[in-house]
Amino acid sequence: MTTELHYVSGQTIIPENAFGISPSGVSKFIEKTHEWYQEMILGNKSFTGSTATVLGSIVHFCAEQFIKHKKVNYDEIYKYIFTQTCLLKPDEEFLALTTEESKIEYLTNNCNNTEIDAIHILEQWRPMGQALINHLIKTGIPEQSEPMVKAEVMPGYWASGSIDAIRHGMIIDYKTTSDKTPKQYIPMHYRYQLLTYAWICKQNNMPIDRISIIWVTNNDINRISETTGKAMKDYPTQAVQVIEQVTETDYQFIESILTMIASTVDASRTHPELTWLLFKDPRLRITNDQV
């Protein structure tokens, strides 16, 4: 079963046989080049999802639904939780349920994915999604939600993906976090991602002068200390926005990074014997016996 929350790759909007550079993967190319090669070139992705990523997808969906429809499709959310947490359970069994209460009960009793905590997700998604929606209402509803964008870096190599939202020349990205107090800055690995989106927009004559993250924290309330048995301090969910300016220097910087990525892949294709050097992994070295 596929839902509206399932991931759609930016690869789907670029020309056939072109190489796609994912904005969210740019930081990994810089910081863990050998892992980037395994994932983006060989398709060896070991990470299949977590409680945090599933919850994040739901919170994103809440914002998208509100921006586009002014309401949220709860049924689609529960279907998505089912696909992620109730492994090997028949779709028909869940789809036959007609009330929200019965769906929650089913998910609670049948979640068997040890990597993803359905109970935590069911407790958190409403207050977190509502906090994000309230923030958007207060600060201004974006003009665009989840637009798929692309731009050619060099012949045959494209940067592409979907942007959470755009409002008045500002790219908005939603990030769920377990931090009790949200960061007051944009970490560098997210900055690579948002600058890539800004660069793509610029190539498509969509001026962007700011990038931002709206941090959405977990709803940590009504907790009891296992040590003392006493009530712990509450940390209700909050949505806090951090905004940074984008300068021409930023655009030049990210374009040089994207060009380096495309050029590295192109060099590896042209000179496969250099792949191990280009991607910093001696295991990829081609020996005489392999030639």
Angle at 109 between CA 108 and CA 112, to 5 degrees: 90
Tally Cβ neighbours within 10 Å of residue 141. Answer: 14
| 180 Cβ neighbours under 8 A, 6+ residues apart | 217, 220, 235
Query: Residue 150: is its pLDDT beyond 60?
Result: yes
Task: Categorise residue 75: left if φ over 0, alpha if ψ from -120 to 50, beta otherwise.
Answer: alpha
d(CA 9, CA 61): 16
pLDDT at residue number 231:
82
pTM of the model: 0.92
d(CA 240, CA 135): 8
d(CA 198, CA 169): 9
Indicate the helix (H) or strand (E) that contains 212. strand 210-217
Q: Confidence class of residue 289 from pLDDT cuts 50, 70 and 90?
A: very low
How are strands ordered across the β-sheet holding 148-154?
Answer: 19-21, 157-162, 148-154
DSSP structural state of residue 35 = H
- Choose the weakest-confidence range: 45-54, 177-186, 188-197: 45-54
pLDDT averaged over the chain? 94
Tally Cβ neighbours within 10 Å of residue 6. Answer: 12
